[in-house]
A and B are shown apart, each in its own frame.
Chain A
Amino acid sequence: MMRLFSIEWFKLKHHRFFWIGMGLFLVLLSALLVYFGKFELPIKVESDGSFEGEMMSGLIPKTFEEAGFYLMPYLWQNGTYLAGFFKFIPAFLMLFFMSSEFEYRTYRQNVIDGLSVGEFFISKLYSLLLFSLLSTLAVGLTILFLASSYNDLQEVDLLQQSEFLLALFMEIFFLLSMAMFLGLWVKRSAVAIIILIMYYYVVEPVTGWVVDNYLGLAISDYLPTRPSRQLIPQPFARMFSVRMFSKLEELDQLNWGTFSLSFAYSLAFLGAAFGLLKKRDL
């Protein structure tokens, strides 16, 4: 097994895309999380000039930081939710490294040199796991760093709500499984990345909306990418209410049903990828 990992790592480490992609992920992600607190809240409460009004507007937060973006345990959900936007970077890497094996016919060469089809597939799974783990690790470390600079570590439990990191891992793992299938199926990285983005942002949302609204079927929740999108609930609405009305709401919980469904869809894409690889002449 170490042999397959070492073969795959050798292919990755010599390509600048791997380092650029992973570096870009870390830089963009940490920049967004670090500066996000400075962004102004989209809601504004205008003071009416009265004394009470001035008092009120002084209490109302103006930026995300003031609204408690960095407070534990909420930071896990806030951070992982935002980090989800960057999952297309590892997905692009996955797709690129997969399809270029076909573009340059190196997959065929690997098999001629003595790799079985199954071994090749496993070596690509290592890539998938490596991309998912490195991305998750980058997010986890950034969140821990921000958590410790904005919170009193004596008072908070750093790991409370950290299951959202697991949710992020699943979200990335799912998208990468889909990317691996697409890269293998289409064999052209440029075409495959366009299909992936179009499907994720256009085809599936539109299909889901049409089916739900015109056919009256509630199936949009069960389309492939949907469970992975719901893994980390959008945290901002709740975040404002917590601070603004100083009333602690219940924390969002990781929904294991959604998690399992995402995992099942990932396995379906991986299974389809393996089937395609097995069936195809090289």
Chain B
Amino acid sequence: MEKILELHSLSKNYGRIKAGDQLSFEVEKGTVFGILGPNGSGKTTTLGMLLGVTRPVSGSFKWFNNHKLEDAKKRIGCLLETPNFYPYMTARQNLKLAAKIKECRNPNIDEVLEQVNLHERADDKFKTYSLGMKQRLAIASALLGKPDVLLLDEPTNGLDPKGIAEVRELILEIANSGITVIMASHILAEVEKVCSHVAVLKKGQLKYSGLASDLSGHSGKLVLSAENLESLEKELQEHPSVKKMEQDGAFLIVLLRDEESPAAINQWLAQRNIHLNHLELRQSSLEEGFLKLIDS
């Protein structure tokens, strides 16, 4: 596979705090790569170094098999933190300027404005925009000139649920068109829904890098609820394949040792005169793999 990005022992520290500690991983072409970690784990710092806005202390990285950084950046669409545009210019003017900097020959300005549904407000000044519109303009700017790579930092931060769904859909759409997507997020559900590969960071250190499916454990997780939660828990302690239990509000979250069908559990409980009013199987659990890495 063609490599889009390679990191070699990339490090950065702010005083004694290590925001990047000997980071090495690779991103292959056409993947949706998630950089995952809790707040303050060094995700934004890492992206900053890759874009030349944060100076690494040591180590190196390569874009597109050793392009000059300035040239590489012209092939990367970026969506970082808050959108930064010239408040006195209109959306169209801001995009024109970005296209000049990126050296796009025939910038697809109208196309990207339509893609993010801003074409009707394209000639209004940026300072009159709502936060959601500003975010959408940032996405439009990231899509300018059909980039080879899309870099996203917490892309759904500050958006309402509708906005989150729209951005998620857009990411998948972009990924399907063959563009490599690299996104940083602390929201597992987000990464889980779109990423094929993940790198997990904790306090600047790389804890895992590889397929997302390898990170998620295979054992299933059951979410149960019954009239009497106490007796449910008591009975389940007798069950041979129950590994761990945890109460979460009105629900009991049960971790199973082996693959046990929910139907079998239900029948087993019914025999002991416990009738469930909620039974749910949570198959994928990237969260567990993630939490295991973070807690260790």
Q: Which of A8-16, A69-77, A164-172, A252-260 binds B?
A: A8-16
A238 within 8 A of B: no
0/1 interface trace, chain A 20-34, chain B, CB 8 Å (1 if under):
000000000000000
B80 within 8 A of A: yes
The chain A residue with its CB closest to the CB of B81 is A105
Contacts A109-B84, A111-B53; is A7 near B100 (CB within 8 Å)?
Answer: yes
Q: Is the CB of A7 within 8 A of B70?
A: no
Q: Is the CB of B80 within 8 A of A11?
A: no
Q: Is the CB of A281 within 8 A of B54?
A: yes
- For A3, the chain B residues whose CB sits under 8 A away are 100, 103
Contacts A10-B96, A281-B54, A282-B54; is A114 near B85 (CB within 8 Å)?
Answer: no
A47 within 8 A of B: no
**A104-B126 Cα distance, complex, nearest whole Å:** 12
Q: Is the CB of A116 within 8 A of B54?
A: no
- For B132, the chain A residues whose CB sits under 8 A away are none
Contacts A10-B100, A115-B70; is A281 near B53 (CB within 8 Å)?
Answer: yes
Q: Which of B53, B98, B101 makes the CB contact (< 8 A) with A108?
A: B53
Q: Is the CB of B84 within 8 A of A108?
A: yes
Contacts A3-B103, A113-B73; is A14 near B98 (CB within 8 Å)?
Answer: no
Q: For the side of the interface on A, what is the size category?
A: 20 to 34
- For A11, the chain B residues whose CB sits under 8 A away are 86, 97
B257 within 8 A of A: no
Q: Which of A14, A16, A115, A281 makes the CB contact (< 8 A) with B55?
A: A281
- For A106, the chain B residues whose CB sits under 8 A away are 84-86
0/1 interface trace, chain B 86-119, chain A, CB 8 Å (1 if under):
1111000100111011110000000000000000
**A135-B233 Cα distance, complex, nearest whole Å:** 83
Q: Is the CB of A15 within 8 A of B100?
A: no
Q: Is the CB of B84 within 8 A of A15?
A: no
Q: Is the CB of B74 within 8 A of A114?
A: yes
Q: Report the minimum CB–CB distance from B48 to chain A (whole Å).
A: 8
The chain B residue with its CB closest to the CB of A10 is B97
- For B179, the chain A residues whose CB sits under 8 A away are none
A112 within 8 A of B: yes
A148 within 8 A of B: no
Q: For chain A, residues 83 to 121, give those with C-beta under 8 angstroms from any C-beta of chain B.
A: 104-106, 108-116, 119
The chain A residue with its CB closest to the CB of B97 is A10
Q: Is the CB of A282 within 8 A of B53?
A: yes
What are 18 A-to-B residue pairs whose CB atoms are below 8 Å? A3-B100, A7-B97, A7-B101, A10-B93, A14-B88, A14-B93, A104-B85, A104-B87, A105-B84, A111-B52, A112-B51, A112-B52, A113-B102, A114-B70, A114-B103, A116-B52, A116-B70, A119-B70
Interface residues of B (CB under 8 A from A): 48, 51-55, 69-71, 73-74, 78, 80, 82, 84-89, 93, 96-98, 100-103
